[in-house]
Structure formats: structure tokens, C-alpha cells
Amino acid sequence: MTTTQILLFAFAGIGALATISIISIAWRRGDGTATGSVDRKAMRGDPAVARRWIAAPAPALAGEGRPVVVAAPIDPLEARQELDEESYGMTRRRFFNRGILGVFGLFLAQFGVASLAFMWPRLKSGGFGSEVNAGKIEDLKIAALTEDGRVQPVVIAAAQAYVVPVQGSLEGSSFDGLPVVAAGFMALWHRCVHLGCRVPECDTSLGFECPCHGSKYNFHGEYEDGPAPRNMDRFLVSISEDNELIIDTGTVIETARASVKTVEYPEGPTCI
Ligand code: FES
């Protein structure tokens, strides 16, 4: 599934959630009849209520000064009718609370989907982490030769790799018997095995020399010097039916520091 498809699904899901939320809120609001109880402070501040209290009859004197008991005025706070949750309906406060929760939920959903899309492995053929077509073997052979007849690595950016033509025999080397050679080519990962810097090629020494801490590797990526703990890593390679070099960047092959070197290093002045 591509990132675009994931984002489309995510936005469709968010839209559905938003629609369900709006319908739910509208449903809960019922027919729009405003009901509810009046709080004590509002009641005391209401002039009409105050007038009713003032107009209430005071205890009257009957006949010869004997007090006559009259009915006490009705306290509207006592007489108010309590409403249950259902008939209370949707208050403004509740509406805003739900609105804030809804917006926060949408934000979390979008953040989650964006994070998922970011971390989703790129399994599409052709990207790093999958098989990368490095081109026709004939073209690689031409590209791997300089005008003066020397060999040079071919940079395959999509694979983060140097494709190097194997010089001589690998028998007895760190790579003997490993599936790292196809049609006479190896694919070295350009990442330094010390701390991960990109290792540039050095035209003069004909090796790879890391500018970060000085690790050096020969043309086959065999360890020569510096703090690197092993040879340069390489990828599994194969040949397609159309005679193209296929680099499987999902399969990294590590080898220990070479005790037997298969090429000379340096061939000239080093770069660092
Ligand atoms: S990262 Fe290359 S030598 Fe340290």
C-alpha cells in the first residue's frame, strides 16, 4: 500500500468520523426545545422573582391584634422541577465540551495516521529496502571503466550502493561462497560500518575512505585501516532475465575484517 493510498484512507476515515459526530450531536439535540433548571444565583437576580417575594402577603393581624397565619410564599427554588439527563437536552457548555473533545480526537487521529504513513516501510519495488535495478550488465561494464582503462565504482543512488567489478579471484576471501557477486559485480553499501557516515570513493587510492574518523577500505570494500569493525557491508545481487543487475537492498551481508586482501590498496595517494 502506497503512502498516497494510506493518506486517502485516512482522510476518508476522518471524514466519516466527523460526519458521525455531527449526526450524533444533532440527534442528541432533539427538537430544539430549551429546557432546564434555573440556578439559585440566576433566580435571585431575576427581578420578576424578586417582585413575587416582595408582593407576598405578610402575616396579617386579625381582630384584636392576634396574628393570623397565612400561607408562606412559595420558594421557586424549592418548587422547581428537576429534569433528568434525557429531557435536559444539549446545553451550550455540553455542546462546547463535546466540540473540543471532537476536535482533539480528530487531531489525534490525523497525527496517528501521519505517523503511520511516515513509518510505513517502502515496499514498492525500486526503492531502498527492496530490489533495485542497477541496469544492464553491458552498460555497467562500460561505466566501470575509466578512459585510461582503470576500473571505477559505479554509483547507484537508489540502492545507496557502489557497484564494483570484481578484480581477480575471491577464493579464500571473506566473501568466498557468499551470494555477493553476480556477473562479476558486487554492490557495496556506501554507509560506513563504524558510525554510519557516507564513505566516498577516492580516485587516486582506488579505495573508499571515510572522512568522519578515517576508516579506509580497498576497492572491494575490505577493511584496511581505522576504527571500522568489519568490511564494508554489501547487498545480495542477482541477474534478471533481461541481463540486468538486481541489488536486493533488503538483504545486507556483513563480513568480518578481511585477513586476506583480494586487491591492492592504496593504488595511489590517499584522499584523507
Ligand atoms: S563513521 Fe566512518 S570512520 Fe567513523
| 54 pLDDT more than 60 | no
Spans of all domains in the chain: 3-119, 131-253
Q: What is the pTM of this model?
A: 0.59
> Residue 199 CA: which ligand 1 atom is closest?
2
Residue 226 in contact with ligand 1 by CB distance below 6 A: yes
Q: 217: number of CA atoms within 13 Å, CB side?
A: 34
Residue 182 in contact with ligand 1 by CB distance below 6 A: no
* Mean pLDDT along residues 1-23: 74
Give the number of other Cβ atoms within 10 Å of residue 192's Cβ.
23
* First and final C-alpha spacing in the chain: 44
- Do the beta carbons of residue 18 and residue 106 sit within 8 Å? yes
Query: So what CATH class is 131-253?
Result: mainly beta
Query: Distance, CA 191 to ligand 1 centroid (Å)?
Result: 9
Most confident of 27-36, 46-55, 121-130, 205-214: 205-214
> Residue 213 CA: which ligand 1 atom is closest?
3
Burial of 202 (0-12, 13-18, 19+ CB in 10 A): buried
Return the axis-axis angle of helices 3-28 and 92-119, rounded to nearest 10°: 170
Mean pLDDT over all residues of the chain?
A: 82
